[in-house]
């Protein structure tokens, strides 16, 4: 027997080009007891559709039963109204404004700490002018400044040692 028509219908079925009548022909063909061996693999697909179709049918009295269930148990829904103040209504906006302010503040802090602070500290040597004309006077001023810094460090060191242990200085 030649099953070319069934094979063409299968090809069209898998390409989603069949009509409902052609799908019914395929279901009827695969519901037969004797099917060629090369088409046996498609039997479960169409047999499943037939068995599912029979199981999922609703009864004739379905609408009447549903209307009866809805109509008998229907009670008016109670609605609880509550008063919403203006501040409660604007609270989400206040929260959003606070979040935006925090992000802007953090952005400014990050930009200040990582950004252009180095360019302010750089010295423009082209426009730099000495305040002392005699280098020995400048050297004496720097030496006295460094001596003051050293004395400050020594005083701190002695305070730290005095707290840790008793030191006798003669």
* Span 43-72, average pLDDT: 73
With 80 as the cut, is the pLDDT of residue 157 above it? no
Q: Which of 76-80, 94-98, 105-109 has the least mean pLDDT?
A: 76-80
Alpha helices in the chain (DSSP H): 4-14, 20-30, 43-55, 62-73, 86-114, 117-121, 135-164
pLDDT score for 110: 87
How much of the chain exceeds pLDDT 90, in percent? 16
- Which residues, 6 or more positions from 6, have their beta carbon under 8 angstroms from its beta carbon? 26, 29, 39
| pTM of the predicted protein model | 0.31
1, 93, 3: which is closest to 39 by C-alpha? 3
pLDDT of residue 115: 65
83-110 mean pLDDT: 92
The more confidently predicted of residues 167 and 68 is: 68
Average pLDDT value over all residues in the chain: 79
Higher pLDDT, 143 or 154: 143
Looking at the chain, the whole-number percentage of residues with pLDDT higher than 70 is 75
Q: Is the pLDDT of residue 119 over 60?
A: no
DSSP string computed for 75-122: -PPP-------HHHHHHHHHHHHHHHHHHHHHHHHHHHHHSTHHHHH-
């Amino acid at each position: 027997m030649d099953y070319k028509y069934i094979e063409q219908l299968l090809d069209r079925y898998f390409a989603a080009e069949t009509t409902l009548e052609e799908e019914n022909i395929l279901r009827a063909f695969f519901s037969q007891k004797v099917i060629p061996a090369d088409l046996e693999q498609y039997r479960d697909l169409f047999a499943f559709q037939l068995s599912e179709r029979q199981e999922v049918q609703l009864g004739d009295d379905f609408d009447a039963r549903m209307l009866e269930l809805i109509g008998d148990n229907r009670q008016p829904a109670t609605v609880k109204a509550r008063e919403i103040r203006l501040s409660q209504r604007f609270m989400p906006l206040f929260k959003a404004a606070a979040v935006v302010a925090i992000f802007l503040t953090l952005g400014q802090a990050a930009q200040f700490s990582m950004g252009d602070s180095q360019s302010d500290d750089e010295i423009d040597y082209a426009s730099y002018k000495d305040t002392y004309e005699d280098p020995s006077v400048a050297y004496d001023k720097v030496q006295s400044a460094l001596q003051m810094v050293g004395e400050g460090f020594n005083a701190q060191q002695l305070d730290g040692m005095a707290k840790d242990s008793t030191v006798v200085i003669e």
